[in-house]
Amino acid sequence: MEERNKTLGEFIIEKQEDFQYSSGELSRLINSIRLAAKVVNYKVNKAGLVDIVGAVGAQNIQGEDQQKLDVFANDTFIQTLINREIVCGIASEESDDFITIKGKDECHNNKYVVLMDPLDGSSNIDVNVSVGTIFSVFRRVTPIGTPVTIEDFLQPGVNQVAAGYVIYGTSTMLVYTTGRGVNGFTLNPAIGTFYLSHPNMQFPKDGNIYSINEGNYVHFPQGVKDYIKYCQLEEGDRPYTSRYIGSLVSDIHRNMIKGGIYIYPTSSKAPSGKLRLLYECNPMAFLAEQAGGKASDGFGRIMEIQPTELHQRVPFFCGSQNMVEKAEEFMENANNNL
Ligand code: P6P
């Protein structure tokens, strides 16, 4: 009998056996992400039908208008993680400061912290373009039993124990890694079960898609301008195709399957770049590297950056290894010619 696709639940149990001394907490954490993803998916797919689309009139710390679904997604993931008593702290794009989670008896015995962008690309919600949730998981570095501190969140990406995204698109997928490769699960909405649809996802070493908001071209660093012209030049396998959805999860997901590079560089409008290191770039970088790709700030490895603040922004070059390395070459050459 043809082996049916494994469910996410079966996969988590199977993989937990790989972690000899695992307490099962990380498995329970991934399971809570799974539940929250299904709840958010339901709302995202109903957005046009119920009064949940549009701004709430508030702004988040980024100064961005909070869409109602942003707030719903943020509350759903936070509440699900709290209810399962798995984490001792949460940081979110939608919350100015980190959130301390108390477990039973007001204690802080859980060992993981989660950082997340609960609904990335939310400006696309009103125009029915796919959006995503991004999450990153670390072990706390301060003593278990004490309240979390900012140090638990300001860890370099190399310390991540898990990372992933949910893409609410033509189908809803959960893609994640615990440091042993990347696996993608597609939701069967009829029964509310995620099935293993993309085992061992790999970033092709090369690609012919470049994803960048060329509307900002005049504001880009010279190295980025030079790389864009390289992509457009008629030579060998070029010109490449330009594909930019304006939804990080969607652009990275497509490029991971087809090969490609996503770039959000610094510009005169965004001197440090736009994307946030802790809950966008680090998790995407972990996934990219686990899938054989690369993630850089244009000069060095994203996951080696020592964070200094919760919502800090960095320039982001992520995708097929050879494409990121070529872009880094242009950045270095331009830097050397300053
Ligand atoms: P721009 C969405 O707001 C986001 O954080 C990413 O998902 C997306 O890739 C980028 O910003 C789009 O930014 O400036 O090109 O509209």
Is 244 a known ligand-binding residue? yes
- Delineate the domains of the chain, giving CATH numbers in brackets: 8-200 (3.30.540.10), 209-336 (3.40.190.80)
Residue of 248, 251, 280 to test ligand 1 pocket, by largest number of atoms within 8 Å of CB: 248
Distances in whole angstroms, Cα of residue 190 to Cα of each of 94, 175, 187, 225: 31, 20, 9, 47
* Ligand 1 close to Cβ of residue 265 (< 6 A): no
* Ligand 1 close to Cβ of residue 120 (< 6 A): yes
* Ligand 1 close to Cβ of residue 123 (< 6 A): yes
The tens place of each residue's pLDDT in the chain, 338 residues long, gives 445 689 999 998 888 876 655 678 888 999 999 999 999 999 888 766 666 667 777 777 777 776 788 899 999 999 999 988 889 999 999 999 999 998 776 678 889 999 999 999 988 888 889 999 999 999 999 999 999 999 999 999 999 999 999 999 989 999 999 999 999 999 999 999 999 999 999 999 999 999 999 999 999 999 999 999 999 999 999 999 999 999 999 999 999 999 999 999 999 889 999 999 999 999 999 999 999 999 999 999 999 999 999 999 999 999 999 999 999 999 999 999 88
Atom of ligand 1 nearest to the CA of 247: 7
- Distance between CA 253 and CA 258 in Å, rounded? 9
pTM: 0.94
Atom of ligand 1 nearest to the CA of 245: 9
* Ligand 1 close to Cβ of residue 246 (< 6 A): yes
Q: Which protein residue's CA is at the shortest distance from atom 10 of ligand 1?
A: 246
Torsion region of 155: left, alpha or beta (phi above 0 gives left; psi -120 to 50 gives alpha): beta
Tell me if the bond preceding 156 is cis, omega within 30° of 0.
no
* Ligand 1 close to Cβ of residue 6 (< 6 A): no
Compute the Cα dihedral for 295, 298, 304, 310 and give only its sign. Answer: negative
